[in-house]
Amino acid sequence: MLKHFLPNEHVKSILDITPNHLKDMGIKGIITDLDNTLVEWDRPNATPQLIKWLEDMKKNNILVTIVSNNRSQTRVKVFSDPVQIPFIYQAKKPMGRAFHKAISQMNIKREEAVVIGDQLLTDILGGNRSGFHTILVVPVAQTDGFFTKFNRFVERRILNWFRKKGMIQWED
């Protein structure tokens, strides 16, 4: 059961994920979380570095869809519209329905998509349970909402267990 929380990869930042790496794996689409994965949870717009990263993905024919548990359509839309990225809000991750809706909208197969996020209990668990390749990123902000703070407490315990078992080597 705990292996469902183990990401296939870990990176410090989404900016460390390159189109070439994804293409080498046969990836044609990215399903990504928004808050604390792409930008801080309280930042309304993409940073210049993130805009460049998104443009690089587009130039390399890699589709991107945001799948967010955020309950506010406005929050996700205000971020997504200027960078022209489709989105799904109120995703209810780790449930799989939104992940499958995203690949359907991108018109790709599950094995052609990767799930990227900053939380084990939502992004990684949901992606793994649905059979996707998963990439855990370090959260871009050190502050979180109430429920995310609880999730982070549980995640630290899981990561420590993985570390003790020699299943991960990276630092938090």
Residue 74 belongs to domain with CATH number: 3.40.50.1000
Residue 96 in any domain: the answer is yes
Give the total number of structural domains in the chain.
1
C-alpha–C-alpha distance, residues 124 and 11, integer Å:
13
Confidence of residue 171 (pLDDT cuts 50, 70, 90): low
Strand partners, 31: 65, 115
Q: What mean pLDDT is reported for the chain?
A: 91
pTM of the model: 0.89
Residue 102 in any domain: the answer is yes
- Give residue-wise pLDDT tens across range 134-169: 999 999 877 656 566 777 788 888 878 888 878 777
Residue 9 in any domain: the answer is yes
Residue 71 in any domain: the answer is yes
Buried b (16+ CB within 10 A) or exposed e, 143-171: ebeeebeebbeebeebbeebeeeeebeee
The arithmetic mean of pLDDT across residues 25-32, rounded, is 98
Chain centre distance of CA 29:
12
Domain that holds residue 34: 2-141
Residue 25 in any domain: the answer is yes
Name the nearest CA neighbour of 27 among 67, 3, 61, 53: 61
Ramachandran assignment for 82, one of left (phi > 0), alpha (psi -120 to 50 degrees), beta (any other): alpha
Residue 167 in any domain: the answer is no
